[in-house]
Amino acid sequence: MEQEQTILVTVSGAVAHVCLNRPDKHNALNTLLIDALQSTFDRLGTAPEIRVIVLRGNGPSFCAGADLHYMREIAGYGKVENYQDALKLARLFDTIYHCPKPVVALLHGAVMGGANGLAAAADLVIAAQGARFAFSEVRLGITPATISPYVIRRCGEAVARELMLTGRPFDVSEALNYKLVNVVAADGKLEETLTTYLNHLLAGASGALAECKKLISDVTSHSGSTRELLSDTASRIAERRASEEGQEGIKAFFEKRKPNWFKQLKDEN
């Protein structure tokens, strides 16, 4: 186990577990934690041996949002310093969202404020029973600005208006209904549920997964003509068919065997 400031990074085979490690503060975000997450995702995102990243929290909560002592400190900064600090947090969410590796957020306990940005920037969100959520920024006189692009992509404008304007708490069943969570694990089955989804992800080719993430992002944000979109998507699938992974995957299918990238967690233990 490798410790990097306020996070713990554990690598198990091709899976990196990035664990927020301020349990006495419910993993509230401060400058050290934000910097540590940024440098870790920068490194793991380009590490060839890593195929999936799990973002999780140590202690009773995933993350209670921003550390209020940190918030009080930066409130006293000048406008330029405040902007630069906010830009660091915005960049972190963007880095997680555009990470070439699939990112799974594993939630439990409190998931407040900026924690929802970490989760919404992930590709897959698995939550434990009893997880509780809130966008409470307006009650502190601020707004959920840096997390808003990722949260609104997940839950839509109407839900965002209700949750962000009221700041009310909501439970895991509501979070699932609002699509802020993909899967709610049964009681005591959080790790088992995670393993199931990690095995699904590890069955995919790493290059194809990275390209698939980019495809989804590009198609979602596409503003050109339908003809341009047709040409672009046709070009992408043609490239993947001719790629080494594409050739291996098709060959393995006809030979009735697993492709050379296939590996499951049960084989690593």
Give the per-residue pLDDT at 76.
80
Give the per-residue pLDDT at 266.
65
Give the per-residue pLDDT at 69.
87
Query: Which active-site residues does the annotation give?
Result: 137
Q: What is the DSSP letter of 186?
A: P
Q: Where are the alpha helices (DSSP H) in 6-126?
A: 31-45, 68-75, 79-97, 115-121
Q: Is the pLDDT of residue 265 over 90?
A: no
Read off the tokens for 78.
């000048």
What are the structural domain ranges in the chain?
A: 2-201, 205-268
Binned at pLDDT 50, 70 and 90, residue 238 comes out as very high
Model-level pTM?
Answer: 0.93
Query: Cα dihedral angle (87, 88, 89, 95), rounded to 10 degrees?
Result: 110
Contact 120, 154 (CB under 8 A): yes
Nearest alpha-carbon partner for 145 in 155, 135, 154 = 135
CA dist 251 and 108 (Å) reads 42
Contact 139, 114 (CB under 8 A): no
State the chain's maximal CA–CA distance in angstroms. Answer: 65
Q: Is the pLDDT of residue 77 over 90?
A: no
| Fold (topology level) of 205-268 | Lyase 2-enoyl-coa Hydratase; Chain  A, domain 2 (1.10.12)
What type of residue sits at position 30?
Answer: N
Q: How many alpha carbons fall within 13 Å on the CB side of residue 257?
A: 7
Contact 16, 50 (CB under 8 A): yes
Q: Is the pLDDT of residue 1 over 50?
A: no
Q: Is the pLDDT of residue 155 over 70?
A: yes
Q: Is the pLDDT of residue 205 over 70?
A: yes
Q: What is the DSSP letter of 66?
A: B
| Fold (topology level) of 2-201 | 2-enoyl-CoA Hydratase; Chain A, domain 1 (3.90.226)
Give the per-residue pLDDT at 33.
96
Read off the tokens for 120.
């919404």
Nearest alpha-carbon partner for 172 in 219, 226, 221, 125 = 125
Nearest alpha-carbon partner for 41 in 80, 125, 98 = 98
Work out the end-to-end distance of the chain between its first and last CA atoms, rounded to an integer number of angstroms. Answer: 16
CA dist 93 and 213 (Å) reads 15
What type of residue sits at position 126?
Answer: I
Read off φ and ψ for residue 14, nearest 5 degrees: -100, 10
